[in-house]
Amino acid sequence: MSNPAHPAAPASEVTIWSLEQTSPDDLRPSAVPEGDIRIVRSGIPLPEFSRFLYTAVGGDIRWTDRLTMTYAQWQEALDRPGAETWVAYADGTPAGYIELDPQDDGVVEIMYFGLIPAFRGRRIGGHLLSYGVARAWDLAERWPQRPATKRVWLHTCSKDGPHAMDNYLRRGFRLFDTRTELEPDVVTPGPWPGSGRQLLP
C-alpha cells in the first residue's frame, strides 16, 4: 500500500542484454577511422581520470552505479590485477574508453565502453570496441598471473545509444541472455548540463 506522503520515485522499464564471445576468432574488427585516432592504455590507475571518463561518457545515458563510490573504492576497482582502461584519443582529446574487468576462470567482462557524446557517429566506436576486445583476449600476455582468456562478455541495455547493439553484433558478439528491470529515473551529472552538444566537423 503506497503512502501518499512518500510517493514512489519515478521508474522506467529497462531491457538488459548480455552478449559474449567464446573464442578470439569470434572477433570481427571494424575498419580504422580516418584522422588522428589513437588508443592508449591508461597506465596509472587514477580515480580522477576514471571518474571523468565515466561521467563524460555515461552522463546522458544514465550511468549511475559508480556515482556513490568513494575515492578509495574507485582506487580499489582500478587496482585489481588485470583491470585495464584503454582510452581513445581524437586529435589528442579523450573521445571515449573501454574498461576491462578480469573475472574467474579466464573470463573478462567489458565493464564500461562508450564515447563522449561529441565524438559519437564518427566511426570511432567500432574501432575502440574492436581494439578493446582484442586486448581482452590477450590480457594474460600482460598479466601472467591471470589465466588465458576463454570468454569475453558484456551487457548493454535499452538506455544505450541506438547503434550500441548493432556495434556489438557486428564485432562478433552473440546474445545469451535478456531480462527486463525497473530502474529509478535519476539525474546523472555528466561533465555539465548540455554536454551532449555535437562538435562542429
DSSP string, the chain: ---TTSPPPPEEEEEEEEEEESSGGG--PPPPPSSSEEEEE--S--HHHHHHHHHHHHGGGT--TTTT--HHHHHHHHTSTT-EEEEEEETTEEEEEEEEEE-GGGEEEEEEEEE-GGGTTSSHHHHHHHHHHHHHHTHHHH-TTSPPP-EEEEEEETTS-TTHHHHHHHTT-EEEEEEEEEEE------SSTTTTPPPP-
Interatomic CA distance for residues 55 and 45, integer angstroms: 17
pLDDT of residue 2: 35
pLDDT of residue 61: 80
Summarised one tens digit per residue, pLDDT across range 23-55 is 999 999 999 999 999 999 999 999 999 999 999
**70 Cβ contact list (under 8 Å, min separation 6):** none
Residue 169: pLDDT band by 50, 70, 90 thresholds?
very high
0.75 exceeded by pTM: yes
pLDDT of residue 7: 46
pLDDT of residue 187: 61
CA distances to 112, 138, 147, 172 from 150, rounded to whole Å, are: 19, 10, 9, 15
Residue 172: pLDDT band by 50, 70, 90 thresholds?
very high
CA distances to 68, 121, 154, 169 from 91, rounded to whole Å, are: 32, 16, 28, 28
Residue 14: pLDDT band by 50, 70, 90 thresholds?
confident
pLDDT (average), residues 75-104 = 97
pLDDT of residue 123: 92
Position 86 pLDDT exceeds 80: yes
Q: Could you give the domains of the chain?
A: 12-184 (3.40.630.30)
Round the average pLDDT of the chain to a whole number and report it. Answer: 87
